Amino acid sequence: MSTTAAFTSDKDFLAGMYQKMLTIRLLEEKVLQLLMEGEVPDLYPCAGQEAVPVGVCAALRPQDLITGTYRGMGHMVAKGADLKPIFAELYGRKTGCCKGKGGAKHLAAFDKGVMGAYAIVGASIPIAVGLALAAKMLGKDQLVACFFGDGASNQGSFHESLNLAFIWRVPVIFVCENNLYAASTPLKTSTAVDHIAKRADGYAIKGLTIDGNDVEAVYQATKEAATRALRGEPTLLECLTYRYGGHFAAEDRIGWNYRTAEEIARWKKQDPLERAEIILKDRFGWSSSEKKMLEKGIREEIEEALEFARQSPPPQPLEALEDCYFEMDHNFLWRWPE
C-alpha cells in the first residue's frame, strides 16, 4: 500500500469530515429501517465505505465535479447535497432529486457538481473523462472525480477511459472504492491483479493504493491527485474499504451468503467513523457531549428530510411522458385510448 505524506487535520476540518460520514451512516440506517418496513423500495448500502467519498470530496472545490454509482448516497452527502431531495427521490416523489424518475440508483445534484449516478457498472467512467475533456477544452478551472468499484475495473469502459484520459491529458481522478466484492463475486476469483491500482501502469498514469477507511489519508491522497489532475495528469486512486451491508439491501433475505462473520467483524474493527472519532478524541480532546450534539443535529436533519419526502406529492402519471423527447403523435394521434 502506498503511503502519502502524513497529514494532520485541524479539529474543525476533521470534525466536518466526521459529520459527513456520520450523516451517511445514520441516513443509511434510517433508510434500511424504512426498507424493512416496506416504505422505501430500493437501496444500495454503502455503510463502511464512508471515508472514501467524504475524504475525496473534502479535497475538491465547489466547482469540481463527481460522477457516482448506484451505491450513491455517500457521494451525494459528501459533495454537499441536501437530504430532502434524496429522501424524496427514494420515495419516488416529484420533489425528488430526479423527480422520481431515477430512484435509488440514480441520485444526482447538478448544482453541487454530482453529475449523476450510473447503474450500469463502469458506465460513468467514460462520462467522467468527457466531463474533464470539456473542462479542459473550455479552460475551466475544474476537475472531475469519478467513483466506481473494483468490479467496474473489469469492464472495457474502465480500460478505454484510462487510455483516453492519458492521451487527452484531462483533469480527472479515478477513485476505485475497492470493497473486495463485485456484488457477491470476490476480487480474488474475478480479477487478474491483487490491486486495482496496478492497472494504472498499463495506461501510463499514476496508480495508488491507500487505506480507504482512513479519511485523512483519502483526503491527502486526493489533494495530491487533484494537483496532478489540474496539470493534466490523471490518477487511479484505489481506496481499500469494505461494505457492511449487502450489495443490495435485501440480499440476505434471499439467501445470499458469501462473506464470513469473522471477515465482517475484522473490518468493523477498522471502522472509518470510529477511527476518525479516536483521532478527534486523542488529538483534539473531543468530548462525548460534542459527539452527542452532532448526532442529535444529524438525526433532526434526517427526520426533517423524511417528513419532507412523506409530505411531498407523488408525481402525476402523465409526468412519465415528460423529460424525454417524446413522440406525441406516436402514442396519441395513432389510436391511443383517451
Partner 1 sequence: MREIRYIQAINEALREEMRRDPRVFVLGEDIRQGAFGQTKGLVQEFGETRVLDTPISENGFCGAAVGAAMNGLRPVVELMLSSFAYLAMEQILMEGARMEGRYTFGSQIQVPVTFRFLTGASGHNGPQHSDQPYPMFMNNPGLKIVLPSTPFDMKGLLKQAIRDNDPVLVLESINLLGKQGSVPEGDYTVPFGQATLRKEGTDVTVVALLHLVDAALEAAQILEQEGVSVEVIDPRTLVPLDRRTILDSVAKTGRLVIADDSHRTCGAAAEIAAGVADEGFGFLKAPIKRVTRLDVPIPYSEPLEKYVLPNKDRICQAVRDTLR
**What are the residues binding partner 1 (CB under 8 A)?**
65, 96-102, 106, 108, 110, 115-116, 118, 120, 123, 125-135, 137-138, 140, 156-157, 160-161, 163-164, 167-168, 322-327, 329-330, 333-335
Q: How far is the CB of 205 from partner 1 (least distance, A)?
A: 15
For residues 173-184, b (16+ Cβ closer than 10 Å) or e, as one string?
bbbbbbbbbbee
First to last CA, the chain: 64
Cα atoms in the Cβ-side hemisphere of radius 13 Å centred on 47? 19
C-alpha span between 172 and 230 (Å, rounded):
8
Q: How far is the CB of 294 from partner 1 (least distance, A)?
A: 31
Q: Which CB atom, from 51 or from 88, has the smaller least distance to partner 1?
A: 88
Q: Which CB atom, from 6 or from 333, has the smaller least distance to partner 1?
A: 333
Q: How far is the CB of 219 from partner 1 (least distance, A)?
A: 25
Concatenate the DSSP letters of all residues of 102-129 into one string: S-TT---BGGGTEEEEESSTTTHHHHHH
Pairing of strands 235-240, 172-178: parallel
Q: Which CB atom, from 163 or from 190, has the smaller least distance to partner 1?
A: 163
Do 58 and 46 form a contact (C-beta atoms < 8 A)?
A: no
C-alpha span between 254 and 15 (Å, rounded):
38
Q: Give me the residue label for grid cell 470476490.
A: 186
Q: Which CB atom, from 159 or from 299, has the smaller least distance to partner 1?
A: 159
Do 143 and 173 form a contact (C-beta atoms < 8 A)?
A: yes
Q: How far is the CB of 203 from partner 1 (least distance, A)?
A: 11
247 in helix, strand or coil? Answer: coil
Q: How far is the CB of 276 from partner 1 (least distance, A)?
A: 32
Q: How far is the CB of 92 from partner 1 (least distance, A)?
A: 12
Q: Which CB atom, from 258 or from 326, has the smaller least distance to partner 1?
A: 326
C-alpha cell of residue 22: 456520520
Q: Which CB atom, from 98 or from 298, has the smaller least distance to partner 1?
A: 98
